[in-house]
């Protein structure tokens, strides 16, 4: 046990008649009362579950009883001492109980001497030597002090006092007090370790909560950013579509518009990836399964990249079984999966490279009639592109992960697409694996999906923007958004009225009964939800289809099914608008 350096106190205390420690070995001592000690240990063990004050008081009460002393106490280092090093009497029993809290200096006390000599000490008439005890009543004829060990330094001292000249302490008392001092050390060390562990646990919990709050703030920021980006994208997208119709006879203008249209498409993809990543973290990105044909899904996915592949003179080859493959899956989400994987292949394969999509699956016609167990479809996408470095390969599915050289490419994206892809594949109880022999050696992606089933469905009809003429009310507080979409719809033969607020829309329906009302959900003042409720109360709008336009991609917290007939993400595609009008 480390000693406390107070040599002057130890030297001064060794004057004649002050330290009488040697008498402990020469005095007759009583026999050990192990029964009483055993009972005392049981009492102390029960006290360990109590507060520090109760536990320490139980210790000094036990010392008083076992040693037959007049007073007993524990002196611990005073952490609040303003000058030097001092002890505080934290627990006292017997005739000196009134002095609990008494502070004594380490360099002028019997406790300081015991700790300096690192052994139990017996002091005769200590009040005559130590000024800190001068005011203690009654007289102290003997004091037996035992150090309470500790790491990295002693905790303090345990002591007993005799106020009767006929009562002397002996070697047995020293043994008992030493045992109790060791027990005190263990108890205090346990309490300190527990306090430290609780403090670390509290810090860890605070850090966890701060991290969770930061993640929540990040998700909210991404959702808000997506909404804010979709706002200006909507009029740009609609204006480009209208301009392409108006410039049908001008190849040069159409060429310029095609460039702008591709870049807007890139922005829409980035915003969608951001929102999908946010919805994955909050568990709001789900799949809605239905029967369909895998060939239609593959066809739609290839269609999204064919133009870009032709521009780069890629040899894009699709190999599918000769029989139709019926699947039970979310066709839109799987189209997103394969569009992303094919898009990466096109993006990172040099001009003139090769890209192959191969589908392998059992013929649904061979599945027994009453067997509902889905069979596995294996879709492999192989390219001769830039490949993936070995150190990056284990992290390709992590959010915002990209190779350094990819970040320098204009079409590099945000590095969230593959994270979304893996989530959607897993949501179909499938597996995805990516392999590459290294940079410049191409990439192979294998997707396994247990979705092939026996049911037979027909091929989906070709996508068409054709919409029956209708009376349409556009409500959005952004003038550009309503103007661009109104021009586009008017060019398709629809009668369109525009409003920039809820009250203006309510005024318009007094003389204009819309077949469809496209309403922005988030507007200042009267928002889209309130406007929808008020329109439903108008008799002339009883058959009006109310469609919400939202930049939050229809999160569950945003939707209120009793107010709108359906939700569309801004900017709404012509296909989505056509579907709404055809209903």
**Measured between alpha carbons, how far is residue 75 from residues 155, 355, 423, 463 in Å?**
8, 82, 63, 88
Report which of residues 221 and 504 the model is more confident about.
Answer: 504
Query: Is 472:514 a contact under the CB 8 Å cutoff?
Result: yes
Residues in CB range of 40: below 8 A, 6 or more apart: 62, 65, 66
Pick from 424, 452, 480: which residue ends a domain?
452
Query: Is 447:379 a contact under the CB 8 Å cutoff?
Result: yes
Reported confidence tier of residue 556, pLDDT bands at 50, 70, 90:
very low
Residue 189: phi, psi to the nearest 5?
A: -65, -40
Report strand pairing: 566-569 vs 121-124: unpaired
The count of domains in the chain is 3
Q: Is the pLDDT of residue 329 over 60?
A: yes
For tokens 């109310």, name the residue. Answer: 546
- List, for residues 303-325, the tens digit of each pLDDT value: 888 888 988 899 999 999 989 89
> Is 231 part of a structural domain of the chain?
no
Nearest of 484, 555, 489 to residue 522 by alpha carbon: 555
Rounded Cα distance, 310 and 157, in Å: 88
> Is 475 part of a structural domain of the chain?
yes
Residues in CB range of 57: below 8 A, 6 or more apart: 91, 93
SS3 290: strand
Q: Is the pLDDT of residue 170 over 80?
A: yes
For tokens 């945003």, name the residue. Answer: 558
Query: How high is the pLDDT of residue 478?
Result: 81
Rounded Cα distance, 404 and 401, in Å: 9
Whether 436 and 492 map to the same domain: the answer is no
Task: Please name the helix (run of DSSP H) or strand (run of DSSP E) that holds residue 106, with its range, or none.
Answer: none
For tokens 């579907």, name the residue. Answer: 579
Range list of β-strands (E), 188-345: 290-293, 315-319, 326-329
Q: Is the pLDDT of residue 169 over 90?
A: yes
DSSP annotation of 368 = -
Q: Is the pLDDT of residue 482 over 80?
A: no
Helices vs strands, H then E, count in the chain:
15, 18
Rounded Cα distance, 245 and 195, in Å: 74
Residue 425: phi, psi to the nearest 5?
A: -65, -45
Rounded Cα distance, 171 and 25, in Å: 6
Reported confidence tier of residue 458, pLDDT bands at 50, 70, 90:
low
Query: How high is the pLDDT of residue 90?
Result: 92
Question: How many CB atoms lie under 10 A from the CB of residue 372?
Answer: 11
> Is 1 part of a structural domain of the chain?
no
Residue 78 is part of a domain; what is its CATH number?
A: 3.30.450.40
Rounded Cα distance, 131 and 153, in Å: 25
Most confident of 31-35, 218-222, 404-408: 31-35
Q: What is the DSSP string of 112-180?
A: HHHHHHTS-EEEESGGGT-GGGTT-SS--SEEEEEEE--SSS--EEEEEEE--TT----HHHHHHHHHH
Q: Is 29 exposed, middle or buried (0-12, 13-18, 19+ CB in 10 A)?
A: middle
% the chain with pLDDT above 70: 82
Pick from 170, 196, 222: which residue ends a domain?
196
Query: Is 76:90 a contact under the CB 8 Å cutoff?
Result: yes
Report strand pairing: 495-499 vs 471-475: parallel
> Is 269 part of a structural domain of the chain?
no
Reported confidence tier of residue 267, pLDDT bands at 50, 70, 90:
confident
Query: How high is the pLDDT of residue 282?
Result: 62
Whether 149 and 20 map to the same domain: the answer is yes
Whether 427 and 543 map to the same domain: the answer is no
pTM: 0.47
> Is 262 part of a structural domain of the chain?
no
Whether 437 and 314 map to the same domain: the answer is yes
Mean pLDDT to the nearest integer, 192-200: 88
Whether 394 and 327 map to the same domain: the answer is yes
Residue 495 is part of a domain; what is its CATH number?
A: 3.40.50.2300
Residues in CB range of 132: below 8 A, 6 or more apart: 104, 105, 108, 109
Nearest of 113, 112, 110, 138 to residue 126 by alpha carbon: 110
- Asked which of 43-57, 478-492, 566-580 is least confident by mean pLDDT, the reply is 566-580
Residue 438 is part of a domain; what is its CATH number?
A: 3.30.565.10
- List, for residues 364-414, the tens digit of each pLDDT value: 888 887 887 888 999 999 999 999 888 888 888 876 555 545 444 444 444
Whether 448 and 476 map to the same domain: the answer is no
Whether 185 and 123 map to the same domain: the answer is yes
Whether 297 and 427 map to the same domain: the answer is yes
Q: Is the pLDDT of residue 229 over 60?
A: yes
Give buried/exposed letters for 311-345 (b at 16+ CB in 10 A, else e). eeebebebebeeebbbbbbbbebbbbbbbbbbbbb
Q: Is 433 exposed, middle or buried (0-12, 13-18, 19+ CB in 10 A)?
A: exposed
Whether 352 and 447 map to the same domain: the answer is yes
SS3 294: helix
What range defines the domain where residue 409 resides? 289-452
% the chain with pLDDT above 90: 31
> Is 218 part of a structural domain of the chain?
no
Nearest of 260, 284, 255, 528 to residue 423 by alpha carbon: 284
Q: Is the pLDDT of residue 210 over 60?
A: yes
> Is 253 part of a structural domain of the chain?
no
Mean pLDDT to the nearest integer, 46-75: 89
Query: Is 532:548 a contact under the CB 8 Å cutoff?
Result: yes
Pick from 196, 231, 259: which residue ends a domain?
196
Rounded Cα distance, 148 and 127, in Å: 22
Q: Is the pLDDT of residue 173 over 70?
A: yes
- Asked which of 60-64, 320-324, 328-332, 571-575 is least confident by mean pLDDT, the reply is 571-575
For tokens 């889209």, name the residue. Answer: 528
Nearest of 454, 448, 428 to residue 324 by alpha carbon: 454
- List, for residues 117-156, the tens digit of each pLDDT value: 999 999 999 998 898 898 898 999 999 999 999 888 899 9
Residue 432: phi, psi to the nearest 5?
A: -135, 140
Residue 546: phi, psi to the nearest 5?
A: -95, 120
Whether 442 and 540 map to the same domain: the answer is no
Whether 499 and 534 map to the same domain: the answer is yes
Whether 51 and 181 map to the same domain: the answer is yes
Rounded Cα distance, 536 and 544, in Å: 8
- List, for residues 353-368, the tens digit of each pLDDT value: 999 999 999 998 888 8
């Amino acid at each position: 046990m480390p000693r406390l350096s107070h040599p002057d106190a130890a030297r001064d205390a060794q004057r004649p008649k002050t330290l009488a420690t040697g008498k402990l070995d020469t005095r007759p001592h009583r026999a050990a009362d192990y029964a009483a000690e055993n009972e005392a240990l049981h009492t102390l063990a029960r006290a360990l579950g109590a507060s520090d004050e109760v536990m320490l008081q139980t210790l000094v009460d036990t010392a008083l009883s076992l040693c037959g002393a007049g007073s007993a106490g524990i002196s611990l280092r005073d952490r609040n001492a303003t000058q030097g090093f001092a002890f505080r009497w934290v627990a006292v029993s017997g005739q000196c109980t009134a002095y609990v809290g008494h502070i004594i200096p380490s360099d002028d006390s019997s406790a300081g001497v015991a700790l300096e000599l690192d052994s139990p000490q017996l002091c005769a008439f200590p009040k005559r030597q130590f000024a800190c005890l001068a005011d203690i009543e009654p007289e102290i004829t003997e004091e037996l002090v035992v150090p309470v060990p500790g790491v990295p330094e002693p905790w303090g001292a345990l002591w007993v006092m005799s106020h009767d000249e006929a009562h002397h302490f002996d070697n047995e008392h020293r043994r008992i007090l030493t045992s109790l001092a060791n027990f005190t050390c263990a108890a205090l060390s346990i309490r300190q370790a527990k306090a430290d562990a609780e403090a670390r646990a509290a810090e860890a919990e605070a850090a966890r909560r701060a991290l969770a709050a930061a993640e929540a703030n990040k998700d909210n920021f991404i959702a808000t950013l997506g909404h804010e980006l979709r706002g200006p994208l909507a009029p740009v997208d609609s204006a480009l579509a209208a301009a392409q119709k108006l410039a049908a006879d001008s190849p040069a203008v159409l060429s310029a518009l095609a460039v702008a249209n591709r870049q807007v498409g890139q922005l829409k993809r980035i915003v969608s990836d951001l929102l999908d990543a946010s919805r994955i973290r909050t568990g709001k990105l789900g799949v809605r399964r239905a029967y369909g044909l895998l060939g239609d899904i593959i066809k739609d996915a290839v269609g999204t990249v064919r133009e870009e592949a032709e521009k780069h003179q890629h040899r894009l080859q699709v190999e599918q079984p000769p029989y139709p493959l019926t699947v039970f899956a979310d066709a839109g989400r799987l189209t997103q999966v394969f569009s992303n994987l094919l898009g990466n292949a096109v993006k990172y394969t040099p001009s003139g490279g090769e890209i192959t999509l191969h589908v392998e699956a059992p013929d649904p016609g061979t599945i027994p009639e009453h067997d509902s167990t889905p069979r596995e479809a294996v879709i492999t996408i192989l390219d001769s592109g830039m490949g993936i470095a070995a150190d990056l390969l284990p992290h390709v599915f992590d959010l915002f992960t990209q190779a350094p050289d990819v970040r320098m490419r204009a079409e590099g994206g945000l590095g969230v697409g593959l994270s979304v892809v893996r989530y959607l594949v897993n949501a179909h109880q499938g597996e995805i694996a990516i392999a590459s022999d290294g940079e410049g050696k191409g990439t192979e992606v294998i997707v396994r999906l247990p979705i092939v089933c026996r049911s037979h469905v027909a091929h989906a009809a070709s996508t068409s923007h054709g919409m029956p003429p209708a009376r349409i009310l556009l409500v959005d507080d952004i003038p550009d958004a309503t103007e661009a979409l109104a021009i586009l719809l008017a060019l398709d033969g629809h009668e369109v009225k525009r409003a920039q607020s809820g009250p203006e829309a309510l005024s318009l329906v007094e003389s204009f009964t819309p077949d469809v009302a496209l309403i922005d959900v988030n507007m200042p003042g009267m928002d889209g939800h309130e406007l929808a409720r008020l329109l439903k109360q108008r008799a002339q709008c009883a058959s009006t289809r109310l469609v919400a336009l939202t930049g939050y991609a229809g999160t569950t917290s945003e939707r209120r099914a009793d107010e709108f007939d359906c939700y569309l993400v801004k900017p709404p595609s012509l296909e989505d608008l056509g579907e709404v009008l055809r209903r």
